[in-house]
Structure 1
Amino acid sequence: MTASSSAAMEVGAGLVEYLNAAPTPFHACAESARMLTEAGFRQLAETDAWPTEPGGYFLIRGGSLLAWSTRHSAGPTTPVRMIGAHTDSPNFRIKPQPDVTRAGWQLLGVEPYGGIIAPSWMDRDLGVAGRVAVRDGSGAREALFRVDDPILRISRLAIHLDRSAREGEQLNPQQHLVPHWGLGDATVDFRGYLAGQLGVAAGDVLGWDAMTVDLQPAAFFGRDRELIAGARMDNLATSYAGTLALIRADRDGVSTPTTQVLALFDHEEIGSVSERGAQSALLMTTLERITHSLGGDREDMHRALAGSVIASGDMAHATHPNYADRHEAEHRIAMNGGPVLKINTNLRYATDSVGAAAFSLACEQAGVPVQAFVVRSDLPCGSTVGPVTSALTGVTTVDFGAPTLSMHSVRELVGTEDQRMYADALTAFLSPA
């Protein structure tokens, strides 16, 4: 493998910066919002009337962000090209009453979130970040916080005390995965700690969505910097590429009128059922309001959706060199081999031939190769927001991803050149020739 191109290094550097700025879904939305604002997009409040002039806009609901451009629309029945992704990743979430003492140690009660690979979190320097609800007069306001100091650790039991660890650890989340952050029998007040971080009184901290964070920064990796290692690649690599693609597509001219949409959903890792997940009303409500801002009604929206395509992006399993037998032999996925169509006959992925064709044409337009992934027939298949958004909207949907190793580990691995091809393909998808 030769060294990555300068264009790939530029996009890769942007991804590294994005990952390091986004320890939680809330911070990921803030980082995408920063990029969009700098590109001329305007944030809208859901409680306000939306403007009718064509332009680039976005909204944030918790850990979800929807952005769109109507600059290249030809009216309310213009077909939509939409990129879907998610902002959440497996981690440990801080419990409402987390203060624990045990055997002379001060611990913090946590609960696993999503399909976490628990051993990958052990013996690492951890911080904490998230969102806090703070008293504001007679109501409450939201505040983001992050602690980048190494204050938490989940220590592994020494092998001398459990010789069976060589055969695989049996970890009980309630007993063995409780991080410690101090010594002593006195209970530490996490609420008071958060209050100190925010500069408010402990009684004004009304609630939190707080989570553990791996403190090792994302970085280029390998002899020739042809890889990028970091936390939360699944699925912030797609969130970043999608944000970049929307900015590019909005900026550049198009030969075919489209309404360009980006949907970054929270809670994909736990089923998408929430007020801001892919199974919520958020997407359809936003699409209806976009149609209304273009002078149309529900009939116009459904006419537009009938000609639309959704590209649902999530990371794809690269063929692992040490476990090649766990992959479908005829569908080898190469790192830095280009975007990956994800196909499952039982519709764990939403891809069909029509959606695959739309994405393949986008890759052809962008001048990048495309790969195809299927899981072995004797193994279960994961899923994405694709089937959910396809069912809710009735829109042709294609699932795709970028090759990844160590998916759901605290630290994942992707190809540098893949990130350039990923962004180029999505830009072309939003602006079909």
Structure 2
Amino acid sequence: MEPAQTLDRLFDFLRAGVTPWHAVAQAARWLEEAGYTRLEESDYWNLAPGGRYYVTRNGSSIVAWRVPEHAIGGWRMTISHSDNPGWRLKPAKSTAAGCERLPVEGYGGMIMPTWLDRPLGVAGRVLVRTEDGLDTRLVDIHRPVAVIPSLCIHFDRSCNSGHTYNAQVDMQPLYGPEGCKPIRTLVAEALGLPEEDMVDSELLLTTLQEPVRTGPDGEYYLSPRIDDLGCAAATLMGFLDADADCDSACAPVWAMLDNEEVGSSTRQGAQSSFVRDLFDRILDAIPHSGQGMARALANSFCLSADNAHATHPNFPEKSDPASPVRLGGGVVVKYNATQKYSTTAYSGAVFGEICRMAGVPVQRFANRADVPGGSTLGNLQANTVPVPTVDIGLPQLAMHSAVETAACADADAMRKAVGAFYRAHIRTLGDGRCTLEQTARTE
């Protein structure tokens, strides 16, 4: 795959993934195009050697894997997340000053003013009543239907010298004039269903800006949801690129989990048993010894892929001068003394060697000593799947803004690094010891 193709596919994923449910649906389309079969957690599983499968939970988390031709000797896994900070609609109505508003509350830690004065759409999932019971439908009203208007400077002369935003006061969206068509009706029309068939819903405000390249030669790109759909798309491309060349002794696994931005403590988040449940079921469906799971975990490795902070050119003092990270500098490996990132000397060395052999540039990141690190997936997933893990990411600016900035070259670097990871032969010889070989095909 050429770098331009990587970027085209990434942009497709960013456009489609307006909500976690839409991101999972887009990932499922890519997997099915590559020959993966959907399974349901509620069904009995018959897994064939060499079979390719995926399963979803809550419609907002997804795990895909390939069954090796022989006994599973380990798991080779990449995890990312499907959610991003934003505004979720409440099941309520609000009228003020002759206007209808869409009552919202914040999801995750966002940069609030970046949502002001921009056209906003609405998307999410709806549970509908059918002849057979309840069914889930995805909806995306991809046109301007709301706006969060700023307070004019004449009423707040201090707005350019600092303002504390109150979500209940400052950030409630204007929808239409009092008595206008309710948002519920608009959603029903978009689905082509009678309004009375809608039983419940989860709806989000969405930014309508398309992913665009910027810079004299298009070196950077701007888009909503780069954190973390940038990693999700690039790792999925790497997973599929390496599909035919994966280490034959390990089961390759790709996962995109929900609710990272609010702590991952849901049944579909990284703190849940979702991935471990799947591992147990996979081993139950194929012959293995009583010690099979323990041995497989000991010979496993995980990439926790969640975006990283590039050094900001306007605020370089916010980053540790000893570990600068630049846009376009390659995949970032993240370290933290308090273990907010799960990288260790061992896991960092293994991933660094894989990238070195594949010719993929790597950068190393640590926060300033007086700035606490953010949380991510790796250390939480380790509660149920305790395997060596390295936290990596794409460098970006404006993390948690309504529109973020990243470098085009880094997306292709991530795809190549992940593809090399799945192709590499990693053999655990003991605690902290392994052999590492590169397979024949490289890019």
Task: Specify if TM > 0.5.
Answer: yes
Per the alignment, residue 3 of structure 1 pairs with none
1:69 aligned partner, one-letter code: R
Paired position in structure 1 for 2:62: 65
Look up the match of 1:141.
135
> What residue number does 1:359 align with?
351
User: Match of 2:55, as an amino acid?
Assistant: L
Q: Is the 8 A contact 1:229 1:414 kept in 2?
A: yes
Kept in 1, the 8 Å contact 2:272–2:384? The answer is no
Which of 104, 110, 120 is matched with 1:126 structurally? 120
Match of 1:259 in 2: 251
Separation in 1, partners of 2:247, 2:2: 25
Partner residue of 2:379 out of 383, 387, 404: 387
Distance (whole Å) between structure 1 residues aligned to residue 278 and residue 289 of structure 2: 13
**Structure 1: distance between partners of 2:225 and 2:154:** 33
Q: CA deviation at 1:297?
A: 5.9
- The alignment of Structure 1 onto Structure 2 pairs a total of residues equal to 423
Post-superposition CA distance 1:85-125 (Å, at most 9, x none) = 0000001001022x211001111011100011110010111
Q: CA deviation at 1:313?
A: 0.4
1:281 to 250, 273, 287: 273
Moved over 6 A (4+): none
* C-alpha distance in 2 between matches for 1:49 and 1:82: 24
Q: Determine whether 1:179 maps to 2:173.
A: yes
- Matching residue within 86, 89, 96 for 2:91: 96
Shift of 1:384: 0.5
Distance, in Å, in 1 between the alignment partners of 2:151 and 2:35 is 52
Of 104, 110, 132, 1:116 maps to 110
Aligned residue identity for 1:152: A
Looking at structure 2, the residues matched to 300 and 392 of structure 1 have their Cα atoms a distance apart, in angstroms, of 16
* Matching of residue 250 in structure 1 with residue 243 in structure 2: yes
1:379 partner amino acid: V
Deviation digits for residues 232-285 of structure 1, max 9, x if unmatched?
Answer: 00000111012111111213x245622100110000000001111111111100
TM-score of the pair, normalised by structure 1:
0.95
Residue identity opposite 1:277 in structure 2 = G
Structure 1: 5+ residue runs without aligned partners? Answer: 1-5
Q: Which residue of 1 aligns with 2:185?
A: 192
| Aligned with residue 11 of structure 1, among 6, 9, 29 | 6
Distance in 1 between residues matched to 2:79 and 2:289, nearest whole Å: 24
Residue 96 of structure 1 aligns to a residue whose secondary structure is coil
* CA 255–47 in structure 1, closer or farther in 2 if over 3 Å, else same: closer
Shift of residue 192 of structure 1? 2.6
Could you tell me which residue of structure 1 aligns to residue 432 of structure 2? none
Higher relative contact order, structure no. (Cα contacts within 8 Å, ≥ 6 residues apart): 1
* Cα deviations by residue, 1:212-232 (Å, 9 ceiling, x for unpaired): 110010122211111111000
Q: Larger deviation: 29-38 or 353-362?
A: 353-362
Normalising by structure 2, report the TM-score.
0.93
Q: Secondary structure at the match of 1:48?
A: coil
SS in 1 for 2:384: helix
Whether the 8 Å contact between 1:52 and 1:295 is mirrored in structure 2 is no
5+ residue gaps, structure 2, are: 425-437, 439-443
CA RMSD of aligned residues (A): 1.5
Secondary structure of residue in 2 paired with 1:163: coil
Give the distance between the partners of 1:204 and 1:298, measured in 2 at CA. Answer: 49
**1:77-96 equivalence runs, <5 A:** 78-96=73-91
Percentage of pairs with the same residue? 37
Q: Which residue of 1 aligns with 2:164?
A: 170
- 2:303 partner letter: A
Secondary structure at 1:175 match in 2: coil
Aligned-partner residue type, residue 169 of structure 2: Q
2-side partners of 1:332 and 1:317: how far apart? 10
Name the SS for the 2:2 alignment partner.
Answer: helix
